[in-house]
Amino acid sequence: MRTENVYALSLAGITDPESQILFLSDIPLDPGSPFPSNKSALVDHNRLGTRYSAPSAVVTAIIDHHADENQYLTANPRIVAPAGSCSSHVTKLLVNATSEGGAPFDIPSELATLLLCAMLIDTNGFKPKGKALAVDYAAAYHLLPRSSLASSVKGLLPMSINDTDPSAQVEQEIHDIPSVQELTATLDSKKFDLSHLSAYDNIRRDYKEYTYEIPSSQSTGKVEIKAGLSTVPLPLEGDWAANGQLLKTSIDWMTAHNLAILGILTSFHDEKSKKGKTGKGKHRRETAWFIRLPSGSDSGSVDLDALSEKLFSGLEADKDLGLKKHEKFNIDVGDQSDLRVRVYEQKNADVSRKGIAPLVQKIMEG
């Protein structure tokens, strides 16, 4: 489903992922049985998923760049800090590590290339004034001479992995390297080639799940609900979501994951708009929100209308997002009285799931 990742893996020598990488589906799990390991290290998120939670579960390490949920404070290392790409934190950790003999760890070319690909995907090729921060530039300067692009960056000036103040010249320099631009363009084209995916696959290809504690409608206590946010690099006005497919698939997904909230966050370039310097149309975002009481829940502990009003009013009031009702895409729920849906166009296309997730948590728990 993530063709850009498949391509990045191939550059790192992993040409047959199904036989070379351990997948969750490779682990025999009986329905309802606990996960067969109680120790986890979290990368690119900082809260253990409910599937792996148990009284004996221990999180030993965290490397992440999202909003800190302040869990597992004894994890070591525990790196939860801003970055354009989590791979930059991974790189810094490796560079500052030592091998068993005490010598500095030297990142091999295959790993350097894989980490660099993740950074290019996350930062749009280190676009100046974009998502990349100082930690990303420092990591890229360390990786480029060790990656498959080494021959094309021989003139790159050295930069410390711990440098926290890259100059504007550094920002422009990485973005302007022809080999960096070429690799970014290839990864980008593969990322948006989703013609082979169904609505179900588009929802699950880039999905993250969250747990919130909200006030119970019956007492002064709290009740837990689950929310899912899925990023889809396609407009809602596409074949994948048409003819009720998005509604049906979203309900199926919420049922399977026992969700109270599902947000579909689209991110795409409008090919009908005027092309910019990159040859792409204007970057746009939309959001579609589905709210229902999860199956098996105590219907009296959560009021569906109150929950919906709280989320929708909170999202609409956020000036940074700039949401407005979608004029061209509508979801008709018919006679499904247990479902609330709203679809928006998002004025500020710079706000991704990384910003929306903590906003939803603030709305729900604040």
pLDDT in tens, 172-183: 688 989 999 999
pLDDT of residue 277: 65
Task: Quote the tokens at residue 125.
Answer: 């090729």
Strands 323-325 and 261-270: unpaired
Which of 191, 214, 247 terminates a domain? The answer is 191
Distance, CA of 104 to CA of 92 (rounded, Å):
12
Same domain? 98 vs 174: yes
Distance, CA of 332 to CA of 30 (rounded, Å):
38
Same domain? 321 vs 243: yes
In which domain, by residue range, is 233 found?
Answer: 199-365
Whether residue 134 contacts residue 163, with contact meaning beta carbons closer than 8 Å, is answered with yes
pLDDT in tens, 277-311: 666 789 999 999 999 987 655 556 889 999 999 99
Same domain? 227 vs 269: yes
Which is more confident, 298 or 165? Answer: 165
pLDDT in tens, 9-24: 999 999 999 999 999 8
Instruction: Tell whether 223 is covered by a domain.
Output: yes
Same domain? 169 vs 293: no
Confidence of residue 105 (pLDDT cuts 50, 70, 90): confident
Instruction: Tell whether 230 is covered by a domain.
Output: yes
pLDDT in tens, 239-282: 999 999 999 999 999 999 999 999 999 999 887 877 766 667 89
Task: Quote the tokens at residue 255.
Answer: 């049922």
Same domain? 256 vs 171: no
Instruction: Tell whether 42 is covered by a domain.
Output: no
Which of 128, 158, 191 terminates a domain? The answer is 191
> How many percent of the chain have pLDDT more than 70?
93
* Number of residues that this document lists for the chain: 366
Distance, CA of 361 to CA of 1 (rounded, Å):
28
The number of distinct structural domains making up the chain is: 2
Could you tell me how far CA 22 lies from the centroid of its own chain? 21
pLDDT in tens, 115-162: 999 999 999 999 988 899 999 999 999 999 999 999 998 877 666 777
The average pLDDT across 38-52 equals 92
